[in-house]
Structure 1
């Protein structure tokens, strides 16, 4: 089985009124977190930072205490691993990569939770939210 790895960041701002940045994929119309494929010789964190910068224009500070991954099959021969970190942006001025991202939204936890389609993403957002509330 072939394996693909994507890395990204659950971007948040504000405490105690936390809001999360979600992006809507132009490819499938689903809301999710900025992420993308690792390139050769890249660390997971470097790939996550690069993908966030490409998709949103944001530089992020990664909280290295939080890392979560999920795996799923994208075909009979390919398994995908998505590794997500938690991070704060240095600014909130988002510039989307229009070729890949249809739109973005800063959303409070309940709204962000409703926008996500996949249970795995919802569980990850829930874990990130609980981590930030500690």
Structure 2
């Protein structure tokens, strides 16, 4: 299995779009691996601070990463993995009562419908849509 990576500059833009504060962005990025301008999530990533404990920020940071991963994905398996991760972040945000993150994910989902062609977040990803004409 390949490691999922995204472009660092694009991730910074997405973290800003998801309104993740700069101190959380710096900490999130410091927990990732960066190689040649590409970012991957750490395999053993956790919040070991006592002061940066707002779950909204961590959910939004992860949503930003996986939405970026979907945007950059070229293979069907990578698209499915990213969409599954987005669905998972959505479920966790909902269960933890972070409606703002759920709303942002649903907005992203609706805005990218032409790409993934899934009508709702709990839809099964069964085929790869052609992203070449829309990207």
Q: Does TM, normalized by the shorter one, top 0.5?
A: no
| Structure with greater contact order relative to length (CA < 8 Å, sep ≥ 6) | 1
Larger strand fraction of residues: 1
The answer to which structure has the higher helix fraction is 2
Q: TM-score, normalised by structure 2?
A: 0.26
